[in-house]
Amino acid sequence: MKVVLENLTKIFPSRTKGGKEVIAVNDFTFEIPDGKLIGLLGPSGCGKSTTLYMICGLQKPSSGKIFFGEDDVTELTPENRGVGLVFQNYALYPHMTVKQNILFPLQNLKGADKMSKDAMLERAYEAAKLVQIDELMDRKPSELSGGQQQRVAIARALVKMPRVLLLDEPLSNLDARLRLQTREEIKRIQQETGITTVFVTHDQEEAMSISDMIVVMKSGVVQQIGKPQDVYDSPLNLFVAKFLGTPPINVFNGKVENEKLLIGGNAVLDVKGVSDQEVFVGIRPEAFIIDKQGPLECKLLNVEVMGRDVSIVSSHEDSVNPIIRSIVDADNLKEVAQESVHFALKPHKVFIFNKDTEERIYVGNEKEKVEADK
Ligand code: ADP
Ligand code: MG
């Protein structure tokens, strides 16, 4: 089932007299393709949950429309939309067993949707099998780990065979290892069921790893939509560039003069077609190449060898952040001197941004290349 968001906006009135209203979601338009997993990503307060609750029907949009397939569902109640919703804090009924928790949504079906007891049980076991908790059906939630509880919550959301599955930070309460495992599970379940899914998270790595497409939001406004790798490889603005990637992108104050990009007065790259101006330069950690003749000279602070990766921690006067973190090839390490390190840069891992708008400035035919790759 494709889901269409059309100019979706949510304004919360001010809580205090004369205070400012909050535009939680601002003119969000997007067609979520059928059967895909979409990661809705952004910092806390950017409007992710509000968007999800509008899709689900728990919040009414201030303006705009929502379609499931061709059906306009904007005015429908959550029960009539055919959605399954999973929250961060599982929200299971503590006095009920796992089985009763999963059966609950089916027992509440009315009229023509009413099911026989056997049919309900069969469905409940199917859903439980899908999330691999069918052995735990007679336990109470308090007798389960966090990961198991979240599986029960997912089974409960799936049991009504929803048209759309909505997950609001479903992994945030799990410890690191379970989080990793459960996100793989969610991906598998989504692929097996083919249910169009919206997955909300503030964790870029989580969103990148399981989403077919990500939507990056900031202050209620969509910044960029695309396949995770495409957004990483070609961010539209400085915010998106900084939000994606671990270690994060390194940002420098730079200058363009005569189609050369200067950092600290040294020409680090050619930037064909870019007019003279001050810019922000974003350099991905993997962009740095150790090179004695390299034009970017940084003060060496530390070399961290972490298994496969070598990370060089350095600093530079024109770096926006106190430290620069680069991931380099271990083979070149012998060329690192005592106090300073010289780098050459991989051009396709370096982005420049307008100093005022923080929008991307494209170099040469970069923009055409991005369009062609889509
Ligand atoms: P996220 O899920 O990305 O953290 P939310 O969608 O919960 O963000 O919130 C977006 C903005 O809307 C925030 O500024 C938040 O304070 C505000 N907001 C959310 N719900 C309400 C509400 N019921 N009343 C007033 N403001 C709200
Ligand atoms: Mg939220």
Domain ranges of the chain: 3-238, 248-373
* Segment-wise mean pLDDT, segments of 10 residues, the chain, 374 residues: 97 88 97 97 97 97 97 94 90 94 91 89 93 94 92 93 95 87 91 96 96 98 97 97 96 97 96 96 96 93 84 96 91 73 95 98 86 76
Q: Which two tokens stand for residue 113?
A: 């949707």
What CATH number labels 3-238?
Answer: 3.40.50.300
Task: Tell me the pTM.
Answer: 0.93
What's the Cα-to-Cα distance from 37 to each of 85, 147, 170, 221, rounded to whole Å?
14, 21, 14, 20
Counting Cα atoms < 13 Å in the Cβ hemisphere of 151 gives 28
For residues 220 and 228, give the distance between their C-alpha atoms in angstroms, rounded to a whole number.
20
Question: Given this model, what pLDDT does residue 15 score?
Answer: 83
Helices (H), 26-114: 48-56, 98-107
Q: Which two tokens stand for residue 342?
A: 């010289």
Q: For residue 49, which atom of ligand 1 is closest to its CA?
A: 2
Helices (H), the chain: 48-56, 98-107, 117-130, 146-158, 176-193, 204-210, 228-233, 238-243, 366-373
| C-alpha closest to that of 189 among 255, 102, 270, 130 | 130
Q: Which two tokens stand for residue 292?
A: 């004695």
- How far away, in angstroms, is 126 Cα from ligand 1 center? 36
**Residues 114 and 105 sit within 8 Å (Cβ to Cβ):** no
- How far away, in angstroms, is 201 Cα from ligand 2 center? 8
Q: Which two tokens stand for residue 8?
A: 């979706």
Strand order in the sheet with 63-68: 22-32, 3-12, 63-68, 71-72
Ligand approaching nearest to the C-alpha of 43: 1
- At a CB cut-off of 8 Å and minimum separation 6, what does 70 contact? none
For residues 57 and 80, give the distance between their C-alpha atoms in angstroms, rounded to a whole number.
9
Residue whose token pair is 């966090």? 146
For residues 283 and 295, give the distance between their C-alpha atoms in angstroms, rounded to a whole number.
14
Q: Is the CB of 47 under 6 A from ligand 1?
A: yes
Question: Given this model, what pLDDT does residue 174 score?
Answer: 85
Question: Given this model, what pLDDT does residue 307 score?
Answer: 74
Question: Given this model, what pLDDT does residue 94 score?
Answer: 94
Question: Given this model, what pLDDT does residue 325 score?
Answer: 96
Q: Is the CB of 10 under 6 A from ligand 1?
A: no
Question: Given this model, what pLDDT does residue 335 score?
Answer: 64
For residues 143 and 326, give the distance between their C-alpha atoms in angstroms, rounded to a whole number.
45
Nearest-CA residue for atom 1 of ligand 1: 45
Strand order in the sheet with 288-290: 288-290, 340-345, 296-306, 309-315, 324-328
Q: Any idea how long the chain is?
A: 374
Q: Which two tokens stand for residue 243?
A: 């939000």
Ligand approaching nearest to the C-alpha of 51: 1
- DSSP assignment of 106-167 equals HHT--GGG---HHHHHHHHHHHHHHTT-GGGTTS-GGGS-HHHHHHHHHHHHHTT--SEEEE
- How far away, in angstroms, is 222 Cα from ligand 1 center? 15
For residues 344 and 334, give the distance between their C-alpha atoms in angstroms, rounded to a whole number.
16
Phi-psi region of 308 (alpha: psi -120 to 50; beta: other; left: phi over 0): alpha
Q: Is the CB of 52 under 6 A from ligand 1?
A: no
For residues 235 and 318, give the distance between their C-alpha atoms in angstroms, rounded to a whole number.
22
- How far away, in angstroms, is 227 Cα from ligand 2 center? 22
